[in-house]
Amino acid sequence: MKDKLQLFLKSEDIETLCEQLGKKIAEDYRGKVSETDPLLVVVTLKGAMFFAADLLRHIDLPVIVDFVRLSSYGAGTQTTGTVRILKDLETTPEKKHVLVLDEIVDSGRTLDFMIELLTRRDAASVKVCTLLSKPSRREIEVKLDYVGQEVEDRFLVGYGLDHAERYRNLPHVYFIP
Ligand code: IMP
Ligand code: MG
């Protein structure tokens, strides 16, 4: 199946997006966070691991990185609608400025759940950054503060994105035909 994948976004283009997003994020938070009050970056596993690694290197600010693993998907390509916490944060978000990183926003349910959770845990602020967004698939409106690129309604793999846990390790992003 790998030879049938259609290239969508090359690693060089992803790198450019990470650089632009990282610079913008650092500008926006400058003065708001400090060595004693760093930005809490919440990475949604597993998909956002590559994006987080690349983006974080362009965020020139004091940061703490933590991970959360949520699930709303079965083994297929359709959401089941319910979000579950498979691995919770190890950091208390209370009074912290929080930036959630996701690799792609589809229905919006995962991020809506995260924003609600962090707000309930008294984060000082919650913002969201995603590499990709499929606006036509949205079921819940979520405010996306930083978006790398919008995409049409096609299923994507590579650069952390999986199909039934496969293809995460591909350096570029592909459409599944
Ligand atoms: P949402 O809750 O429907 O917005 O789904 C978000 C999550 O579903 C993303 O963080 C991905 O993990 C996964 N997802 C959505 N679209 C795709 C895709 O095209 N390929 C791979 N995973 C996807
Ligand atoms: Mg994800």
Q: What is the pLDDT of residue 170?
A: 98
Mean per-residue pLDDT, 106-113? 95
Q: Which of 73, 83, 128 to mutate to test the pocket of ligand 1 (most atoms within 8 A of CB)?
A: 73
Flag whether pLDDT at 3 surpasses 80: no
* 84-120 core/surface letters (b: 16 or more CB in 10 A; e: else): eeeeebebebeebbbbbbbbbbbbbbbbbbbbebbee
pLDDT tens digits, residue range 116-128? Answer: 999 999 999 999 9
- The pTM assigned to this predicted structure is 0.94
Residues touching ligand 1 (Cβ under 6 Å) are 44, 47, 72-73, 79, 102-110, 155-157, 161-162
- 6, 106, 147, 169, best to mutate for ligand 1 pocket (most atoms within 8 Å of CB): 106
Mean pLDDT in residue range 79-83: 73
Query: According to the model, what pLDDT value does residue 82 have?
Result: 84
Q: What is the mean pLDDT of residues 95-117?
A: 97
| Per-residue pLDDT at 72 | 74
User: What percent of the chain shows pLDDT beyond 90?
Assistant: 89
Question: Does pLDDT of 77 surpass 80?
Answer: no
Judge whether residue 23 has pLDDT over 70.
yes
| Model pLDDT for residues 130-148, shown as the tens digit of each residue | 999 999 999 999 999 999 9
103 C-alpha to ligand 1 centroid (Å):
8
Share the mean pLDDT of the chain. 94
Kindly give the interhelix angle for 49-56 and 11-29, rounded to the nearest 10 degrees. 60
Inter-residue contact 111 to 105 (CB < 8 Å): yes
Q: Which residues are catalytic?
A: 106
Q: Tell me the mean pLDDT in the region 165-176.
A: 97
